[in-house]
Amino acid sequence: MTVFILNSFGAKNLTAFLDEIYRKRAKFCVVFISKEYKERRWTSHELRSAQARALEAKGDDYILPIRVDNTDLDGLPSNIGYLSIELGVGKIAELFDRKAEDLTCQPQRVGRNSAHDLHRSHAAS
């Protein structure tokens, strides 16, 4: 799995760079829903591009939210499936690792399993 890290912007246009990552390159987008996320300027660009990709995915789940607190994000329905940070970082990592393996084995299924499905599979185990 490739993880994109924003460590040096140089002359790059940050908005265009985030759009390239979240709308075109990423297999799925993990969003940590929190007050801090909502208050940062660049995250609105990130989420907008992720939402555009999700719309293009025609029903496949692309945005995989992790709820850190009860903050609502504009454009992200409150009834969307999400994982709670209370599961713990190790369990969340394990669930997303499984999702990444599914994508590697069956690339045509990008985003097919929602975070809600991942949470249900955790509850069943």
Residues 102-123: what's their mean pLDDT? 49
The reply to whether the predicted model has a pTM over 0.75 is: no
Q: Per-residue confidence at 121, pLDDT binned at 50, 70, 90?
A: very low
- Residue 58's SS3 state is coil
Alpha helices in 1-125 (DSSP H): 14-19, 35-39, 41-56, 89-105, 115-124
> Helices 115-124 and 89-105: crossing angle, nearest 10°?
110
Helices (H) and strands (E) counted in the chain, each on its own, are 5, 3
Give the length of the chain: 125
What's the pLDDT at 61? 75
Residue range 23-57, pLDDT digits in tens: 988 888 889 999 999 999 888 888 889 989 988 87
Q: What is the pLDDT of residue 112?
A: 40
